[in-house]
Structure formats: structure tokens, C-alpha cells
Amino acid sequence: MAEKKQIGKVLFSQEEITKRAKEIGKQIDKDYEGEEVIFLGTLKGSVPWLVDIMKYTTVDSKVDFITASSYGSSTTSSGVVKITYEPRINMYNKHIIVVEDIIDTGNTLKYLTAKIEERGPKSVKICTMLNKESRRVADLHADYVGFEVDDLFVIGYGLDYDQKYRGLPYISYLDETDVETL
């Protein structure tokens, strides 16, 4: 099988991502020992991270998905959140862990967690692969963070640029010259 051409500048390798997912998985097991957890993945970007987190947890769990976006085909958030897929699972009196690929401004996730809270869960926590604190405008805190990142446009491992590059086995970033050549 041919190796994929490296796109952008690598920030985190597959090995680093796996190591961090194992650490977070152990913490979730400790935090929810004897409890059931519902992992609620945000489509599409969270899927690889969600799979890794679930692989490295032993707690009783279920999974569902929600789709929301504020980006479209742009590299910056529009500020308008659109939900296009609602979870089907009963969340009442359940522990929910929202699994996100990246938290940028926090507006989308703040909106989503408010909608989830309306369903009466026992608790709602956030697990994000990447946390871009420098761009945060919403009052939002992630409970489980894979990595802190600077204000870069990141791709790979579920993160995309106009629906491309999600399948890269690492996380990299694009600068202006990279975007111009894509």
C-alpha cells in the first residue's frame, strides 16, 4: 500500500495521538467506574478520535452522533451553528461525553451542550482531541483534552479542509502557501 504524501506541517504523529487517547481512556474509566457512559461524537471530524477513545476505555458505553457546523467550506467560523443530524439515543439521566475533534471559538459546542442539557442527562462532559484556547470566545471548558494547539488551521485525523484530508494518519497544519496550492 502506498504511503500518503505528507500534507502541511506535522504537529502530532499517529503515535502521539494514540498515546494521548490511551491516557484519556484510563481517566474516563477512573471517572466513570461502575457507570454507563454515552459517547456522543460530533460528525464528521470526531470519528477517528472517538474510535480511539472508545478503544481505550472499558466502561460500559453506548455511542451516538450529532452533526453541527459553523464552518462550511471556509477556514474560519461563520458564527452560525446549524444542526443537521440529531442523536436518537435517550440521554435522560445518563452520563454524556461529547467527543469533539477541535474546539475553536467554542460557539458550536456551547450551543450543542445547551441542546443536550435540555434532554435531562445526569452529566455532560467534553472530550476534545484539540483545544484552541487562543480563539475561545464562548465560556466553555473541555474536561478531557488531547492537545493544546495554537491558532493554526489544522487538518488530518478527522479534521478537514473543504471535506479533504480527514484520512491523514497525523495532525498537521496549513499555512497560506499550503492553502493556495491545494
20 in Cβ contact with 146 (< 8 Å): yes
What kind and span of H or E run contains 16? helix 14-31
Query: How many Å separate Cα 47 from the centre of its chain?
Result: 8
52 in Cβ contact with 21 (< 8 Å): yes
Q: How far apart are CA 146 and CA 102, in angstroms?
A: 9
Q: Which residues are known catalytic residues?
A: 104
Written as one string, the DSSP assignment of 24-55 is: HHHHHHHHTTTSEEEEEEEETTTHHHHHHHHH
Question: 122 is written with which cell numbers?
Answer: 445526569
Written as one string, the DSSP assignment of 110-158 is: HHHHHHHHTT--SEEEEEEEEE-GGG--S----SEEEEE--S-EEEBTT
